[in-house]
Amino acid sequence: MTDIQQTVYVVEDDEAVRDSLELLLKSDGKPVKTYESATAFLKDYSDKMAGCIVLDIRMPGMDGMELQKKLNEQHSILPIIFVTGHGDVPMAVDAMKEGAVDFIQKPYREEALLEKIEAALEQDLEQRKSLDEKQEIIRRIKSLTPREHEIMDRMIAGQANKVIAIELEISQRTVEIHRSRVMHKMGTHSLAHLVRMVLSVKDLIDAK
Amino acid sequence: MTEVVSENSEVTVLLVDDNPQNLKVLYETLKDKGYRLLIANEGDKALDLAHRHQPEVILLDIMMPDMDGYEVCERLKADPETADCAVVFLSALDDLQAKVRGFSLGGADYISKPFQSQEVIARVKTHARVIRLERELQARNRELQGDQTRILNSISEGIYGLDENGVIEFANPAAAAILGSPVDAIIGCNFFEIHFAAVGEDTGGLPVHGTCRQGVAESQRNIRMLRTDGSGFPAEYRSTPKLDDDELHGAVVVFRDITAELESEAALEEARELVQEQRDQLAHASRLTTMGEMAAGFAHEVNQPLTAITNYARVSKRMMGKETPDLGLIGETLDKIEAQSHRASEIIRRIRRFMKKPATGKEIISMPALLEDTRQFAEVDMRNNEGGIEVAVPEGLPDVLADPIQVQQVALNLIRNALEATRSSGSATPVEVSASLVGSHCVRVQVRDYGVGLSADAEDKLFLPFYTTKDEGMGIGLATCRSLIQAQGGDIGFERPQDGGACFFFTLPVAGAEGAPCRPDNPPDTRED
């Protein structure tokens, strides 16, 4: 579990709002990085980023909603807090459906914003931790030989050793040897745990 | 000789004689002269041929058995089909009595036997020509008569011929149809009695009276005339005096029932009012939309400095809470608060100026100030389209008289379109807004962009309601703009610039130059009569 520096990424087109928010967050002791447009942020974005995004929903050019979509396409897990103006509630609802963490309406109370940022950073940490775990599972799956991988898939599907042996036209003894290697490489003794592990990273593997 | 042929062509000559020898001689005499020759050796046959072929000339022997020439002539004259034939008697009876009798029966000429061929030829030729001319003349007369009758019958307007007392001497079918009586029944009736229920001589002051009595032409619209059944109808009439050698003989009246016309006029008027009403509604709706959009824009705009102020204030408090406050930094932050506060009040001032008056009255407007305001309104659009606006107004431009909100609405609409067109084309050239004086009493405002431009067919329809070139356009904008600008006494239009893009303009009357509207010579669809 690597401890990455969490940063609050502020994407806001209004210079005064951007500047004041930067000062405010810095005075609260948080690392801040500001961007004047969604495009600028997208250029800078990498999956190494940790923390959260404070994103103005209404911006010229690419707006907040569009940036959210583009980040989703890149499987970003950075939590987004949308900052909305008057009358942007329907947009905010859409944003939430798209997976935003939260939204806050301008002009906002500083405490409320800081609370939401705290929660987002916490969520980011959790996600990252589970992601690290998942990355570890994936690393282990990748260490399997093609034959072991095939046998693991059949184990997860609930096939008995005998059936696997018949279908793959190998001896049952060979299946047992492969099976113990799979369990060893995957770092588990229980089939149930193995199934949970593999299922937990299913979406990540499918996405690749 | 061809001339003779052509002159005699179509001329039929009937030769009637009981003596075959005579017939032969006559036939030989006339056969090469281009006539169509018919021959009969007795009265009955002659009548039959004459009835069937209507010859122009008949050479008729008097002395014949059974039916003599006189009787044949009488019968020919009695039959309308043959009455106009020229009967030339042939007789050895060269006496005055015989000739007189022949002429009295309608004979045209007389040739004595034995006849000279030259004489026969000459006489036949003469009579043939006369008869032909007569027949042509009659045909023309019939044709003219027919035309006249047809015209009088087919005219949908009623026509009366009246004598000086208003008695109807002539009526066409349309008059009868309007009145509701057959033509025969109308003739002889008094015009004033049947159409105006006038009693006896008491017709003074009624329509057409002046024409009948004093010979003064009249015409009136929407008078009430009566039908035979006593019902009335609205009518339009013209009456002209009937003069004969400067003597007044009554009047000719042309009149028609205008019930349907009045109805369609009323319907048209109603439609016009409805269109005006809808135009007003559309303008109002459009204004509300603009207001709504602006309000949303304002709220967004005002929120920005307020948010910044709140944040800066927080930061300042935190800085002050430190053990050794950095006064310089706190000062800087307070300066920022002040700047944002000014920014907010500037926005609010603009809103108030915009909302100050309901959009009803015209007032004297300074164009540079109005355009600058409009430019600031368009800042949201500018940001959204990543475009720019340049305003250029010459020094000393006179003020205009118009409703500032409506003018601002139009200018904003044109600027928005220009910004969108610029963005669509990927151009970065700013939109040019300029104003200039045209003539002595018109200010022209122009919005020029270097965007995607317009297709030729769009140009004609631009200002029509519901026409749009945008994917999500309503097609209300420019139509409303036109209504608004025309209501100010100005006009709006489009010009295709040489070097691409689009150029919209509108004109407004200079304050104090009323009565000289800035409208084209023939403004479209704004007839007011």
pLDDT at B324 over 50: yes
Model confidence pLDDT, tens digit, residues B143-180:
888 887 777 777 778 999 999 889 999 998 889 999 99
Is residue B252 within a helix (H) or strand (E), and if so which, with residue range?
A: strand B247-257
Distance CA B467, CA A92 (A): 33
CB B98 within 8 A of CB B92: no
The vertex-B294 CA angle with B291 and B296, nearest 5°, equals: 110
Residue-wise pLDDT tens digits, B334-387: 999 999 999 998 888 877 766 554 455 678 889 998 898 888 878 777 877 778
Distance CA A203, CA B2 (A): 112
Chains A & B: contacts with CB separation below 8 Å: 67
Spatial contact of A99 and A72, defined as CB atoms under 8 Å apart: yes
Angle of helix B327-355 versus helix B259-320 axis, rounded to 10:
170
Residue B461 distance to chain A (closest CA, Å): 31
**Cross-chain residue pair B339–A108, CB shorter than 8 Å:** no
Banded model confidence at residue B1, pLDDT cuts 50, 70, 90? very low
Rounded to 5°, the CA angle B64-B67-B69 comes to 60
Strands, sheet with B57-61, edge to edge from the N-terminal-most edge strand: B36-40, B12-16, B57-61, B86-91, B109-112
- Contact check, Cβ <8 Å, A27/B385: no
Is A24 close to B339, i.e. CB distance below 8 A? Answer: no
Does pLDDT of B110 surpass 80? yes
Task: Give the integer Cα–Cα distance in Å for A41 and B66.
Answer: 131
3-state class (DSSP) for residue B518: coil
Whether A106 sits inside 8 A of B296 (CB atoms) is no
CB pair distance less than 8 Å for A58 and B300: yes
**Residue B169, helix vs strand vs coil:** strand
B303 with A27: Cβ contact below 8 A: no
Residues of A whose CB is below 8 A from B297: none
Output the CA torsion sign for B22, B24, B29, B34.
positive
| Token code pair at residue B226 | 């009566």
Nearest CA-CA distance, residue B302 and chain A, Å = 9
Closest CA–CA distance from residue A16 to any residue of chain B (Å): 6
Rounded distance between C-alpha atoms, residue B16 and residue B266, angstroms: 74
Residue B309: list chain A partners with CB under 8 A. Answer: 20
Is B428 at the interface with chain A, CB within 8 A? no
**Residue B273 and residue B281: Cα distance in Å, rounded?**
12
What stretch of H or E contains B352? helix B327-355
Cβ of B385 within 8 Å of Cβ of A110? The answer is no
Partners of residue B332 in chain A, C-beta under 8 Å = none
Backbone angles phi, psi at B157, to 5 degrees: -85, 145
B384·A24 Cβ contact <8 A? no
CB atoms within 10 A of CB A125: 15
User: For residue B94, what pLDDT is reported?
Assistant: 66
CA–CA separation, B255 and B237 (whole Å): 4
Nearest to A84 by CA among B343, B292, B299, B344: B299
pLDDT tens digit string along B410-448? Answer: 898 899 889 888 988 888 889 999 999 988 889 999 999
pLDDT-derived band of residue B4, with 50, 70 and 90 as boundaries? Answer: very low
Q: Answer for the pair B258, B222: CB distance below 8 angstroms, yes or no.
A: yes
Task: Say if residues A63 and B350 touch (Cβ distance below 8 Å).
Answer: no
pLDDT score at B346: 85
How many other C-beta atoms lie within 10 A of the C-beta of residue B11? 21
Record the tokens describing residue A52, joined without a space.
Answer: 């959260």
Q: For the segment A46-71, what is each residue's pLDDT rounded down to a tens digit? A: 988 999 999 988 887 788 888 999 99
Q: State yes or no: pLDDT of B458 exceeds 90.
A: no
Rg (CA), chain A: 23
Compute the C-alpha angle A32/A33/A36, nearest 5°: 135
| Residues belonging to chain A | 208
Distance from CA of A62 to the nearest CA of B (A): 9
| Sheet containing B492-495, strands listed edge to edge, beginning at the edge strand earlier in sequence | B389-392, B431-438, B442-449, B502-509, B492-495
